[in-house]
Amino acid sequence: MAGTMKAIRYYRYGSPDVLQFQDVDRPAVGDDDVLVRVRAAALNPLDYHFMRGKPYLVRLQGGLSRPKGNGLGADMAGQVEAVGRNVTGFRPGDEVFGSRLGGMFAEYVSLRQDAALAAKPANLTFEQAAAVPVAAITALQALRDKGRIRPGQTVLVNGAAGGVGTFAVQLAKAFGAEVTGVCGAGNVELVRSLGADEVIDYTRADFTRTGRRYDLVVDAVGIRPLAETRRAVAPKGVLVGVGGPKDGNWIKPVRPTIAMLALSPFVSQRLVPLLARANREDLATLGELLAAGKVTPVIDRTYPLSAVPDAIRYLELGHARGKVVVSLTS
């Protein structure tokens, strides 16, 4: 499809100032591709990691001295504009949501039909649907695949008011667990409204020193020393790490992962780092839960496409409640 579109592009690593709002060519539609008109996109921490090229490990995938791909954004929702001749699962007009690393901050994206792409639940707005893929898939895989959650278990979610945490609380309840959320004072009522049975305000109490131990702990923050976080995990329990320090150029952001892998063989607890991978099966599973009203995305702020630099600046502050979303519906 010929023509141009508006998109966010960057050609060197750095602060949000390197992001440019440009006219670029619309993506081509191959025989196996689905062209989507993006109506909303969502931000994730990986966006500012790839934007800054830090920690330097991300440059192994994103380009050593400068970005290989010039687009950011991994989550989107929109309407199918066109499909390739081999595509059977989608047709023009379908409302979809999905994930791909890079390029979602644009008016159009082209994805292969076997990508992490699924029908948008009809009860969700485009903005709500865009908020789902990366964060909710991370929460799902942390609880179900790594945590092996079972009904009746006690689950603690550290960072319960963040992007992953808001989904983890709701999913853990949907799986039949007794859920405790850890968050700041201003988010206690939010986390309780998501279904948490108990909420710990970390400014008033230290969840690692309450004396209570949980069957499964999902740590979506990752800044506490492992020895401290383990105090909240039952002797045969599981700790799943899905977050880490955002500062540091080399080892610091991945130090929690290294520590968990090194210690896990020598203790009775299972210590499991998670690097989530988006796929259409998990998106479909989440779509069913969303359609049934068992999970509802939490959106903190919405920005226009041209204001993605401001949106990333806000996300980097680390205080977002739920998700930060880019809207292209106006």
Quote the pLDDT of residue 119: 95
Quote the pLDDT of residue 21: 97
For residue 25, how many other CB atoms are within 10 A of its CB?
A: 12
**Chain-centre distance for alpha carbon 190:** 19
DSSP string, 147-191: S---TT-EEEEETTTSHHHHHHHHHHHHTT-EEEEEE-GGGHHHH
Quote the pLDDT of residue 224: 87
Say if residues 253 and 246 touch (Cβ distance below 8 Å). yes
Tally of residues, the chain: 330
**CA distances for 212 relative to 93, 154, 248, angstroms:** 51, 10, 32
Domains annotated for the chain, with CATH where assigned, are: 4-132+297-327 (3.90.180.10), 134-273 (3.40.50.720)
Say if residues 142 and 216 touch (Cβ distance below 8 Å). no
DSSP lists the bridge partners of residue 154 as: 178
Q: Which two tokens stand for residue 160?
A: 């319960």
φ/ψ of residue 293, rounded to 5:
80, 10
List of residues 6+ apart from 205 with CB closer than 8 A: none
Q: How far apart are CA 94 and CA 89, in angstroms?
A: 10
Q: Which two tokens stand for residue 239?
A: 């700790």
Q: Cis check for the bond before 55: say yes or no (omega within 30 of 0).
A: yes
Mean pLDDT of successive 10-residue stretches along the chain, which has 330 residues: 88 95 94 97 93 80 81 96 94 96 94 93 97 96 97 97 96 98 96 97 95 96 89 96 64 71 82 88 96 96 97 93 91
Residue 70 one-letter amino acid: N
Q: How far apart are CA 3 and CA 23, in angstroms?
A: 10
Quote the pLDDT of residue 38: 98
Quote the pLDDT of residue 68: 83
Residue 175 one-letter amino acid: F
Say if residues 135 and 163 touch (Cβ distance below 8 Å). yes
Quote the pLDDT of residue 250: 46
| Nearest partner of 40 among 82, 73, 83, judged by Cα | 73
List of residues 6+ apart from 230 with CB closer than 8 A: 239, 267, 269, 271
Write the burial class of residue 128 (CB in 10 Å: 0-12 exposed, 13-18 middle, 19+ buried).
Answer: buried
Q: How far apart are CA 312 and CA 237, in angstroms?
A: 36
